[in-house]
């Protein structure tokens, strides 16, 4: 345990797991357990070390409360009870030693964080069972992460249904019209009323039909370059854009926000897919998993163990049925 369960009707999957320990002290400050990489900019170079470096800019660590782990067991199930062990990886890229909101970090630091994410995604992708690596950021002001802004990088042994469905739509567009929905938006929105900013590599736009309050999309202009293959120049460009997007969204809404990265699957040919980012108000990691992956993290109190809940509901039914039986007699 824990295991992943896939719902046969909706796009959602669920996992029964605690997200954090509820500890009031920061668990990441000075943490040396579970270090994967330590990154530091020295002159024009980025120094990567696998050893603890007291003077770090960005750290890649194992999530102290992983949702997925190679050692997790669990049941494999088919048919209406589709399930699998929550095997995979769950890592955090801690961007900076200070407790600051994401948009207050320097562009340089954000670029180092994005670079670390590229390296981490490449490492996780090379593991045999991993088929999808997801990435998301919370702004570090929210209800359960008032500490360091961090990218959450999750390696999964399945492609979430919410991603598969989006890929299907892209594939249809590709097959039927030899086109791509993101390329079409980039073309149609350039210099239009919903364009916020455009650089050589990215365009920042408001969606035509937003799915969430204050949603902003950051779209790569080039179709066929996965996030992991962005050059240093493109990463620097993206770092500035994400900082300004976060800052603008925070200024307008006064609320926490997150960035969902809709990335290509790592081992499947997905030339038709065009990755992009969505920035919107959100204030905890649980909601971000739901928004970005369609993954529901069940609270411990709402265990998927059916028996106690079914008992309560059955009693409620029985009570009513008894009452109406008495009435009609």
* 166 in Cβ contact with 172 (< 8 Å): no
Q: Is 249 in the site for Zn ion (CB under 5 A)?
A: no
Binding residue (CB under 5 A) for Zn ion from 84, 147, 166, 287: 147
Instruction: Provide the minimum distance between the beta carbon of 30 and Zn ion in the complex, in angstroms, as a whole number.
Output: 8
Q: Is 161 in the site for Zn ion (CB under 5 A)?
A: no
Which range, of 72-80, 124-132, 176-184, 318-326, touches Zn ion by CB under 5 A? 176-184
* 220 in Cβ contact with 276 (< 8 Å): yes
Which range, of 27-35, 59-67, 107-115, 193-201, touches Zn ion by CB under 5 A? 27-35
Which range, of 11-19, 29-37, 207-215, 234-242, touches Zn ion by CB under 5 A? 29-37
Task: Identify each DSSP E strand in the chain by its residue range.
Answer: 3-6, 13-16, 35-42, 45-49, 58-62, 83-85, 88-95, 132-138, 150-156, 195-198, 202-205, 216-220, 257-262, 276-281, 295-298
Binding residue (CB under 5 A) for Zn ion from 29, 169, 222, 309: 29
Tell which phi-psi region holds residue 34, choosing left (phi > 0), alpha (psi between -120 and 50) or beta. Answer: left
Binding residue (CB under 5 A) for Zn ion from 31, 65, 198, 223: 223
Q: In 10 A of CB 11, how many CB atoms? A: 15
Q: In 10 A of CB 75, how many CB atoms? A: 12
Q: Is 286 in the site for Zn ion (CB under 5 A)?
A: no
Eight-class DSSP state of 190 = T
Greatest CA span in the chain, whole angstroms?
A: 88
Which range, of 28-36, 75-83, 112-120, 276-284, touches Zn ion by CB under 5 A? 28-36
Token digits of residue 62 = 């194992």
* 206 in Cβ contact with 196 (< 8 Å): yes
Q: Is 219 in the site for Zn ion (CB under 5 A)?
A: no
Instruction: Provide the minimum distance between the beta carbon of 98 and Zn ion in the complex, in angstroms, as a whole number.
Output: 8
Binding residue (CB under 5 A) for Zn ion from 26, 271, 309, 321: 26
Q: In 10 A of CB 245, how many CB atoms? A: 23
Residue 220: phi and psi, rounded to 5, are -65, 135
Binding mask 60-99 for Zn ion (x = CB under 5 A): ----------------------------------------
Token digits of residue 81 = 């009870």
Which range, of 66-74, 117-125, 146-154, 276-284, touches Zn ion by CB under 5 A? 146-154
Residues at the contact surface with Zn ion, assessed by CB under 5 A:
26, 28-29, 147, 180, 182-183, 223, 274
């Amino acid at each position: 345990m824990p295991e992943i369960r896939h719902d046969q009707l909706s796009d959602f999957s669920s996992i029964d797991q605690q997200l954090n320990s509820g500890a009031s002290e920061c668990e990441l400050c000075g943490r040396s357990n579970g270090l994967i990489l330590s990154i530091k900019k020295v002159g024009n170079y980025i120094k990567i070390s696998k050893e603890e470096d007291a003077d770090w800019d960005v750290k890649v660590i194992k999530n102290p409360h992983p949702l997925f782990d190679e050692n997790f067991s669990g049941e494999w199930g088919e048919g209406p009870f589709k399930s699998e062990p929550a095997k995979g990886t769950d890592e955090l890229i801690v961007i900076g030693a200070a407790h600051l909101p994401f948009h207050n970090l320097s562009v340089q630091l954000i670029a180092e964080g994005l670079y670390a994410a590229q390296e981490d995604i490449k490492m996780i992708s090379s593991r045999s069972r991993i088929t999808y690596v997801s990435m998301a950021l919370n702004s570090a002001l929210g209800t359960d992460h008032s500490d360091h802004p961090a990218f959450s990088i999750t390696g999964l042994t399945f492609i979430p249904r919410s991603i598969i469905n989006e890929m299907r739509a892209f594939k249809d567009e590709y097959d039927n019209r030899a086109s791509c929905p993101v390329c079409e938006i980039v073309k149609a929105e350039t210099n239009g009323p919903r364009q916020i900013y455009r650089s050589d590599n990215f365009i920042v736009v408001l969606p035509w039909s937003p799915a969430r309050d204050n949603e902003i999309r950051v779209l790569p202009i080039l179709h066929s370059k996965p996030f992991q293959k962005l050059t240093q120049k493109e990463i620097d460009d993206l770092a500035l854009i994400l900082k300004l997007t976060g800052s603008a969204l925070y200024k307008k809404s006064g609320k926490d926000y997150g960035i969902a990265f809709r990335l290509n699957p790592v081992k499947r040919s997905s030339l038709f897919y065009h990755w992009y980012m969505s920035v919107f108000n959100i204030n905890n990691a649980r909601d971000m998993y739901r928004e970005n992956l369609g993954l529901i993290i069940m609270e411990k109190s709402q265990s998927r163990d059916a028996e106690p809940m079914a008992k309560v509901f059955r009693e409620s039914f029985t009570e009513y049925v008894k009452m109406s039986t008495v009435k009609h007699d």
